[in-house]
Amino acid sequence: MGSYATVWVNNRKAGCHVGGRTTFTLDVTPLLHPGKNDLLVRADHPAHIRDLPWVCGGCSDERGFSEGSQPLGIFRPVSLLVTNEVRVQPFGIHAWADINYELTSLFINTSLKNYSSDKKNVQITQQVLDQKGIVRATAVSGRLFMANDSETVSKSRLTFKNPTLWSVENPYLYKIKTTIRSGNQIIDQEVTDFGFRTVQWNTQTNQFFLNGKPVFINGVAEYEHLIGQSHAFSPEQIVSRVKWLQAAGFNSFRDGHQPHNLLYGRLFNQKGILWWTQLSAHVWFDTPEFKNNFKQLLKEWVIERRNDPSVIMWGLQNESTLPKEFAKECTELIGSLDPTASTQRPVTTCNGGEGSDWNVPQNWTGTYGGNPDAYGEDLKKQVLVGEYGAWRTLDLHTEGGFVQNAPVSEDRFTLLMEKKIRLAESVKDSVAGHYFWLLTTHDNPGRVQGGEGFREMDRIGPVNYKGMLTLGRAYRCILYVSKQLCIQRKRADGLYCFSHLA
């Protein structure tokens, strides 16, 4: 929620969290009393934030550094959980596999906490169930002695033969059922989706391999943005957007450029969509507060998503301004949290940056200069392109073929994108793939760069009109509502503008 969250229960402070776009959990047990309880949540979003990787572009003097609006208030799901005194910690099941097609090893770490003031003895049972509900493997730990108010990690290793592999064509998910017992009583139980698969990037042909077979990544990037509703999508909106990208033929998704709602990941796991999840974009402040918060939020981001078989890359920062040594430190931190990082899941920057495993290039030839006819040869050298796209103007149409410096019309946009897709397909036996920028047009408040915000096409926000789909209807609706709340006045040039009443 917000940028800074502070929570009180019955007028006593329960805790706080910085960042907003990763999950946080507070134990409010000591603050509760029988009957009615009062919960107060404060969301702070001050100007000129300098200790977070997610800031608002509206109050920065750095041009173009913050794409999209900053979410305000509580914008993602809130849950009140009632548990026993010993429980599996939030996101406390961490599973990964060493896949051998004859005998596969599944490693499971379980983080438990004893919230009570008493010592506890517990036992952990791990079961792996297939889609028919048949138990394929079981591991039972010995008794765990837990001191009062302590946390412990239990480690299990299960083996079984010939698991069905998760793939784009067949996104097969097993369920890991974790049961915690005290004596004969079940005191906690967690069910975690898990998919077995192998990922290879550094191949002789430069292709991306999933389970030993090449998959051409036809990806798309997407912001979680809508004017007035940034990062606050409902489940129905998220389901719809995933259906849109599937209907358009994309098989991979890139977060633009901050952590998305975790429902995206659950849907990608179920539907076989490859996921390039991303933490941040372009922001760096050389202060201890920024560095500490950045690393803490990075931990939360990885722990939330590391079980997802759909994740194939960790995106540290887009257009990175992180110093090389700090990016290297963060890459190593991700590796300590995810044993498959760097070997199967490279830690990336995009279009700039040092210190990660891979700086993935962008290719905007035909949009910001360059020769789009050479896109196929470019892609063979670049291996993977993190962004390709073009500007367009809603309802502006032109005649003839593609012209490099012509008006940014719907037709020019379409012709350029068709050319790049065709050229990429022609070399897909020697490249990993590319990501189209962008699924839907998004708002860009505070950004003034290269004329943006002053052209007719940028009258609102400005708006980044590079989306395959437009949000024009939503924009018009909001403008209509705004007119009811504003005083209209006519400028000297004959155009109308509106001043807010309050």
Series of mean pLDDT values for 10-residue runs along the chain (502 residues) = 92 94 94 95 88 77 59 88 94 94 90 91 94 95 83 90 95 97 94 97 97 97 82 92 94 94 97 97 93 97 98 96 97 98 97 96 94 97 97 85 87 94 97 95 63 50 74 43 38 40 30
**CA 486 to mean position of chain CA atoms:** 37
Strand partners, 489: 497
* Residue where a domain stops, chosen among 194, 213, 231: 194
Backbone angles phi, psi at 323, to 5 degrees: -60, 150
The reported pLDDT for the residue numbered 492 is 46
Domain of residue 115, residue span: 86-194
Shared domain check, 163 and 190:
yes
What are the angstrom distances between the C-alpha of 53 and each of 313, 334, 382?
19, 16, 28
Shared domain check, 235 and 182:
no
d(CA 350, CA 320): 7
The reported pLDDT for the residue numbered 385 is 98
CATH number of the domain residue 317 falls in: 3.20.20.80
The DSSP letter of residue 219 is E
DSSP 171-238: ---EEEEEEEEETTEEEEEEEEEE-B--EE-S-TT---EETTEE--EEEEEEE---TT-TT---HHHH
Shared domain check, 215 and 190:
no
Shared domain check, 187 and 209:
no
The reported pLDDT for the residue numbered 54 is 87
The reported pLDDT for the residue numbered 491 is 41
Secondary structure tally for the chain: helices H, strands E: 7, 26
Domain for residue 496, yes or no? no
Domain for residue 276, yes or no? yes
Shared domain check, 327 and 453:
yes
The number of domains in the chain is 2
**CA 408 to mean position of chain CA atoms:** 30
Shared domain check, 279 and 366:
yes
Q: Give the pair of three-digit tokens for residue 164.
A: 């069905």
User: Closest Cα partner for 398 from 413, 412, 384?
Assistant: 412
The reported pLDDT for the residue numbered 123 is 93
Shared domain check, 210 and 188:
no
Number of residues in the chain: 502
d(CA 265, CA 1): 19
d(CA 155, CA 140): 10
Exposed/middle/buried for residue 491 (C-beta within 10 Å: 0-12, 13-18, 19+)? exposed
Shared domain check, 442 and 353:
yes
Q: Give the pair of three-digit tokens for residue 44.
A: 């702070």
At 177 the three-state DSSP class reads strand
Exposed/middle/buried for residue 115 (C-beta within 10 Å: 0-12, 13-18, 19+)? middle
AA identity, residue 418? E
Shared domain check, 362 and 243:
yes
User: Closest Cα partner for 124 from 48, 53, 179?
Assistant: 179
Shared domain check, 235 and 136:
no
Q: Give the pair of three-digit tokens for residue 412.
A: 């020019």
Domain for residue 357, yes or no? yes
The reported pLDDT for the residue numbered 446 is 55
Shared domain check, 331 and 210:
yes
Shared domain check, 175 and 323:
no
Contacts of 172 (CB under 8 A, 6+ apart): 131, 164, 165, 166, 195, 196
Exposed/middle/buried for residue 69 (C-beta within 10 Å: 0-12, 13-18, 19+)? buried
Domain for residue 333, yes or no? yes
Domain for residue 150, yes or no? yes
Domain for residue 373, yes or no? yes
At 303 the three-state DSSP class reads helix
Cβ-contact 23, 90 below 8 angstroms? yes
Contacts of 173 (CB under 8 A, 6+ apart): 131, 166, 193, 194, 195, 269, 270, 309
Domain for residue 334, yes or no? yes
CATH number of the domain residue 161 falls in: 2.60.40.10
